[in-house]
Chain A
Amino acid sequence: MKKVSVSFTLNGNTVTAEVPVTWTLLKTLREYFELTGAKEGCGVGECGACTVIMDGQAINSCLCPIPEVEGRSVTTIEGLADEDGALHPLQDAFLKNNGVQCGFCTSGMIMSSKALLDQNPDPTEDDIRTTIAGNFCRCTGYVQIVESVEMAAKEGK
């Protein structure tokens, strides 16, 4: 199996991964770096559980071939809280609003929402729903999730 060496910025740190060339970013995060916050739900870009932010944009890490990450900057859910453990406003808002049920979709939901708030700190409900249209919550807790993002936006002001 052919291997590839890929260097990139992961949650603010410069890292290098030596992994099979056929691996995706998701597989590399989970199995090489042991960052299991990003989940594999469908593995084909339908469910959004694997969402991470690459160079400011939310992407499905399950569809991203690892060689494409060379020189890029990747942020995962593990990169959101402060070093002292203080939660990011989005994480805090999801907890306060019961935006988390089983939790499988949560890191993807939060990463999609973070990409939105970074670009648009004052989103409408419609903006939020469009943003998370590619993140499936099979507990169907969408109302609380939208409220969580609204609260985080308000507190970010």
Chain B
Amino acid sequence: MIDYDYLRPDNLEEVLGLLKEHGPKATLIAGGTDVMVKIRNTKKAPEVLVSIRGLKDLRYIEKRKDYHIGALTTHRMLEQSELVRTELSALHDGASRVGSVQVRNVATVGGNICNAAPSADTAGALLVLDAIVFMEGPEGKRSVPITEFFTGTYKTVLKKDEVLTEIKIPGEMEHFGSAYWKHSRRKAMNLPILGIAVSLKLEGEIISDVRIALTVAAPTPVRANKAEDFLKGKALSDEALNEAGKIAASTECCSLRDSLRGEAWYRAEIIEAYVPRMAKLAAERRSK
């Protein structure tokens, strides 16, 4: 029989106190769209659920010098934000393709990356937007670049007694165009067979800076560094982009595997096809 205590603190201090008090018995719950499903599917629950839904001041999208996104910002808020759509387009693409409207209304961006599925729809976008993840625990605040946040499938650097509080995106990303493609069989209510995110900065026709990220291509969402290095400084041409796609699909950048959702050879072809397409879309968006 599933039973648990459900605690609803309303500030971060209380949350940290409860995590300390209950230790490994406690699990954080935000929107609940992963936690509740897991409880139902495994018929196992933690002894204590600590809900952080009441922490209203962790729900925000702000642009100051940098972009600041509270951990409890819902996917729906990201989807409907004009700022995100126009300046952090890949994040808009990712957030608006998660689940359904009902799921996006409650599911949080912090939850999406803390769950750390290799398929997380916001992860690819956050990787190409150079996001920095802020956490708070008993020893105070710390931050890591998103490239160091994921440590394995469903694993992150977040400790059991810490709470993810904010995702910061450097203000200079406003000079980049970005795009994310979720490759899936249906348009909604589906996990990606593969996800591709690209952000780039142009000086004239020259790609002066570029980031490429892949999801479902390795145990964690990853950056395709070799493909980025190849593209940097080159003119935006079909030839260069196609070659970058080939490099991104190679074992230098990812470790594709066969699964129920798709086979490795197919995933490689999708990377080859969509790295150029997303790069072009990112460039097009930048010029607007």
Contacts and interface: CB of A to CB of B under 8 A. Distances in A.
Interface string A45-58: 11010010000011
B4 A64 contact: no
Contact of B37 (A20, A45, A64, A115): A45
Contacts of B102: 45, 48, 51, 58-60, 112, 134
Interface residues of B, number: 29
Contact of B189 (A20, A46, A63): A46
Contacts of A133: 100-101, 187-189
Interface in B33-68: 33, 36-37, 40-41, 45, 49, 51, 53
B261 to A, nearest CB: 15
Interface range, A side? 20 to 34
B3 A57 contact: no
A62 B36 CA distance: 9
A2 B37 CA distance: 20
Contacts of A115: 101
A59 B101 CA distance: 8
Given A21-B5, A68-B51, A63 B37 contact: yes
A43 B40 contact: yes
Nearest to A51: B102
Given A21-B6, A46-B189, A59 B40 contact: no
A136 B190 CA distance: 13
Contacts of B53: 68
A150 to B, nearest CB: 18
A130 interface: yes
B260 interface: no
A115 B104 CA distance: 14
A131 B187 CA distance: 12
Contacts of B187: 133
A2 B3 contact: yes
A51 B76 CA distance: 16
Question: Shortest 9 CB-CB distances between A and B: which pairs?
Answer: A134-B100, A133-B188, A57-B105, A67-B6, A60-B102, A44-B37, A63-B36, A134-B102, A21-B6
Given A21-B6, A45-B37, A133-B101, 17 more contacts: A1-B3, A2-B3, A20-B3, A21-B5, A43-B40, A59-B102, A60-B102, A60-B103, A62-B36, A63-B36, A64-B106, A68-B51, A112-B101, A134-B100, A134-B102, A134-B189, A136-B189
